[in-house]
Structure 1
């Protein structure tokens, strides 16, 4: 029932729901940190891959000097359209591009950035090799990936809740893709296979995921990610029911009113 095309399909109303609910829930706490790491290296030409709706792009545009060029790419044009609609504080070049076949010449960037996109690449080593190819010697690749799903409370609860609704074939998108690429040894091996010769710097970073109610994380995950496609494939009318069950599960754990759950990720940095 699942395919790579489904796992990377961010279309329809998903980009809007992703930006409205998922970005403040789990991506904003890491975007400022990642942008600050980029700034530390004082780049002049920055490429962002798998930019999504632009949460990191906006941070980069805000804190990098205006003479620094920023090109932000994503496989899904609807996500870029949403990013453009939100806007940035200064000019950014948006381009639709496949991270495994970047439309840029060799050695044109001194920084390549990717927040929570690597997990979606069908061939991680190929995408890493493309990042290395477009980097200048001495340039740097910085990316982040989610840690295990059991270290990310809302995603874990949503996944578990759907087992009660679909006991014979529970949707596993969150565990399989966003939280399916977290082994430091595998990441280091893929970087080496991509041609990086330096040792990667890997750091775990925990943060808090906060929302005004349990319904928000349920809506964010069930309707603002490709998990929605898995749910609707099991019954077009089941999406609201799945969202409500997820919200109830989160409410049972965290209570009524505002909710506050742990999120955890790996930050990876490697020099060309």
Structure 2
């Protein structure tokens, strides 16, 4: 993972929370938390918690559980801390590949859309397995391919068109670059998990406008530094071009399409 891919800081983190979370992450967070709650865990670890989309759902659906939310980026956790207040919640900045917790500390480990960014996925999965109690479950979600996520596909195409000699590849390389079910299942098995169940889940994806989608994806993700490096001072102009293309594809006013993720449940 490059430095730019870690750059969920400053205004990027704020736009991620205000634009990306409602559009992409909140719908899957509700589904994922419901799956976790069905197992009635007493202690839950969340990895790559970001600004707390899943964290909020876990607190609501598990009223008696202790939740530990972690992320590599303190800026993201600061936003989560500002909106979530609970004596049952603790937050900690840490690396998923070096979890600072004792063996067998949690009944469930949850990671929504973070595994794609782990430089060493096997090591991260081994750490999740290590901190799980016997019989516990690792709940993991990743985005499916770019073609299965139309908003991202259009943004990717239009930004690439803006820089034909050096197209940014962030979306295809990172969020939508880790979706081989057989590979992920095998890696989880190598990390020590037993039964691994997976399923693809398609949900509605909505936004108030094409402009909202363009700002979210061009300025609220690590695509932003890739644009700024190629065209200093032209971020807004590129974003406007992307918004125009999205409007042509999805219409004016509120826009809607679908999005698809892959969910894994790996039993310790």
| TM-score normalised by the chain length of structure 1 | 0.96
Contact 2:189 2:196 in 1 (8 A): no
- For 1:236 and 1:79, the matched residues in 2 are separated by 25
Q: Does residue 1:214 correspond to 2:176, yes or no? A: no
Q: Does residue 1:233 correspond to 2:215, yes or no? A: no
How many residues in Structure 1 have an aligned counterpart in Structure 2?
268
Shift of 1:88: 4.3
* Aligned mate of 2:137, from 122, 140, 165: 140
Distance change (3 Å), C-alpha of 1:90 and 1:22: farther
Q: Does residue 1:265 correspond to 2:261, yes or no? A: yes
Q: CA RMSD in A?
A: 1.1
Shift of 1:91: 3.6
For each residue in 1:162-221, what CA deviation from the matched residue of structure 2 results, as whole angstroms up to 9, or x when unmatched?
12210111111111100010010110111122122x131000000111111100011000
Structure 1: runs of 5 or more not aligned: none
* Aligned mate of 1:166, from 156, 163, 175: 163
For each residue in 1:234-269, what CA deviation from the matched residue of structure 2 results, as whole angstroms up to 9, or x when unmatched?
122121111111111110111111100110000100
- For 1:263 and 1:151, the matched residues in 2 are separated by 6
Shift of 1:87: 1.8
Structure 2: runs of 5 or more not aligned: none
* Aligned mate of 2:197, from 177, 181, 201: 201
Map 1:92-107 → 2, pairs under 5 A: 92-107=89-104
* Aligned mate of 2:42, from 35, 38, 44: 44
* Aligned mate of 1:55, from 38, 42, 53: 53
* Aligned mate of 2:23, from 3, 20, 25: 25
- For 2:2 and 2:21, the matched residues in 1 are separated by 23
- Residue 246 of structure 1 aligns with which residue? 242
- For 2:87 and 2:34, the matched residues in 1 are separated by 17
Distance change (3 Å), C-alpha of 1:210 and 1:89: farther
Contact 1:62 1:89 in 2 (8 A): no
The residue matched to 2:266 in structure 1 has which SS? strand
- For 1:90 and 1:30, the matched residues in 2 are separated by 25
Contact 1:58 1:89 in 2 (8 A): no
Q: Does residue 1:188 correspond to 2:185, yes or no? A: yes
Contact 1:62 1:90 in 2 (8 A): no
Contact 1:143 1:268 in 2 (8 A): yes
Would you identify which runs of 4 or more consecutive aligned residues in structure 1 move more than 4 Å? none
* Aligned mate of 1:149, from 146, 149, 158: 146
- For 1:238 and 1:268, the matched residues in 2 are separated by 39
- For 1:226 and 1:125, the matched residues in 2 are separated by 24
Contact 1:58 1:88 in 2 (8 A): no
- Residue 125 of structure 1 aligns with which residue? 122
